[in-house]
Amino acid sequence: MTSYSIRGIIYLLCFILVSGCLASAPSKDVESLHEEVKTYGKFIRWRAYDEAAGYIRHPDGEVINVDTESLKEIRVTKYEVLTIILNEEKTEATATAEISYYHERVNNVHTIQDKQLWWKDDESGRWYVNGPLPDFKP
């Protein structure tokens, strides 16, 4: 084999590898969804319920008033996103998180699975949750 043939094969292999990496790279929509889900979870984990409530909005644009006052005695000990499933159009997603928490006065740890319906606002490009904050029952 000549050095030109070997060099050509190496270039071809590099091109195939780079093309494969680019094809499997997540789109900006997917990346932004993952970041929003992660940030929403951090707000809940660290008791920033007012900030988490800022993610809650109906697809028609209606802001949902959330009573965060009742959550002041909730302590989240674990927040883990289990799944994020995005639709083909990359406009809606379902995320499931496992949350362990306790009420300060009760001290029993509970674990729930919180199913979140996310939608993307076309104007702002931002993702929102179409539903309430997690249902923390005593």
pLDDT digit string (tens) for 10-22?
554 545 544 444 3
27-129 maps to which CATH number? Answer: 3.10.450.50
pLDDT digit string (tens) for 63-119?
788 889 989 999 999 999 999 999 999 999 999 999 999 999 888 999 999 999 999
Give the helix/strand (H/E) hosting 55: none
Report the amino acid identity of residue 72. K
Q: What is the pTM of this model?
A: 0.79
The residues near 98 (Cβ < 8 Å, ≥ 6 apart) are 78, 79, 80, 82, 111, 112, 113, 114
Question: Which SS3 state, helix, strand or coil, does residue 64 take?
Answer: coil
